[in-house]
A = this chain, B = another copy of it.
Amino acid sequence: MKLTDLTRRAGEWLRGAGPMHDVVISSRIRLARNLAGMPFLSRCAPAQQEELANRLRDTILEAKIAPGMLYVDIVSAGELDRELLVERHLISRQQAEAKHPCGVAVNADEDLAIMVNEEDHLRIQVLRSGLQLSETIGKIMQVDDTLEEHMDFAFHSRFGYLTACPSNVGTGLRVSVMLHLPALKMTGEVEKAFRAASDMHLAIRGLYGEGTEASGDFFQVSNQTTIGKTEERIVEEFCEQIIPNFIDYERRARESLLSRRCSAVEDKIFRSVSLLRSARLIGSDETMYLLSLVRMGVHMGKVKDIDLKTINELFLLTQPAHLQRILNRTMEPPERSEARAEFIRRRLGAT
């Protein structure tokens, strides 16, 4: 597999076919791991960082964790490729901007990514569409076990896995579920739901992680505590309580909108569809916002001539790096807006 193959299709997480996909976009779990006997990355000398990167890359590839594993050296990759990986949620924004030796291993299905020399020596991530946390935890534990056959991880008998940031010590596990909550946003109840989440020590973030704004009504809910509970217990709370509550709130908000403010909802949905089909210049934030409303419209049965797959693909393919890669040319923002609008019109069968 080559990196350019990625742009030809949407990653597993955005295919949108997973369970509860009317509200849950994706389920992600990541584990933070560090090699025993090696300093944390920020304490390593440049030569040590390079040695680490090479050693981890070789071990991952030799471990044959998944078929068609691709390894990308981040620093030598072009800027566009780094952006592409961020847009696909395969590396973090921080890693894309790193100057030290680092990389990422991605499997062919693109539901597994192993970041090398991010904040920790290893960040293992499994990302799947819809609410699939049991499958996700199963898979990531397998990957973790396989890797542990090839290397020793820093582990403390009392604290658990040791990590660069104390907030990850213990299981090193973070569950992040991406939710689509346009109705709660419209009814103004989203703040209330988030206050409840915050009381449960959950973090709410935007589409691209820490420090990003929620755009297009997408919100990432994740655990803040990694210690004091087993991996299974953390996941169980998400599956049985936290996420079902959000799904229930959002579905009820949609029903209430449809019965009490139907015109207002239809207005937003149909305006969004027709703006996407008519714009000649469009930025990625507006695109996200409009697609979000169209997505809700499809699930409400209001939009019948656009399928979910097309919408989900557009979320990704209209991002700056994807757009440039697909159209095979680098473009400044004004030119991108024009190309994005044309791309969307073509995909949606503009009127």
Of the listed residues A266, A273, A282, the one surrounded by the most CB atoms of chain B closer than 10 A to its CB is A266
Residues of B near A267 (CB, < 8 A) are 279-282, 341
A274 within 8 A of B: yes
The reply to whether B275 and A279 form a contact with Cβ atoms under 8 Å apart is: no
Closest to A272 in B: B278
Interface string of A266-289 (1 = CB under 8 A from B): 110011011101111110000000
Residue from the list B273, B275, B277, B280 in contact with A266, Cβ < 8 A: B280
The reply to whether A338 and B263 form a contact with Cβ atoms under 8 Å apart is: yes
What's the minimum C-beta distance from A309 to chain B, rounded to whole angstroms?
A: 23
Complex Cα–Cα for A285 and B303 (A): 27
What's the minimum C-beta distance from A343 to chain B, rounded to whole angstroms?
A: 14
What's the minimum C-beta distance from A337 to chain B, rounded to whole angstroms?
A: 8
Residue from the list B274, B281, B341 in contact with A278, Cβ < 8 A: B274
Interface string of A323-342 (1 = CB under 8 A from B): 00000000000000010010
What's the minimum C-beta distance from A269 to chain B, rounded to whole angstroms?
A: 8
Residues of A in contact, count (CB < 8 Å): 18
Given A338-B263, A341-B267, decide whether A277 and B274 contact each other with a Cβ distance below 8 A.
Answer: yes
Complex Cα–Cα for A270 and B266 (A): 20
Closest to A338 in B: B263
Complex Cα–Cα for A281 and B267 (A): 6
A264 within 8 A of B: yes
A351 within 8 A of B: yes
Residues of B near A277 (CB, < 8 A) are 274
The reply to whether B278 and A270 form a contact with Cβ atoms under 8 Å apart is: yes
What's the minimum C-beta distance from A40 to chain B, rounded to whole angstroms?
A: 50
The reply to whether A273 and B278 form a contact with Cβ atoms under 8 Å apart is: yes
A contacts, CB < 8 Å to B: 263-264, 266-267, 270-271, 273-275, 277-282, 338, 341, 351
Sample 20 A-B pairs with CB under 8 A, ordered by A number.
A263-B280, A263-B281, A263-B338, A264-B280, A266-B280, A267-B279, A267-B281, A267-B282, A267-B341, A270-B278, A270-B280, A271-B278, A271-B279, A271-B280, A273-B278, A274-B274, A274-B277, A274-B351, A275-B275, A351-B351
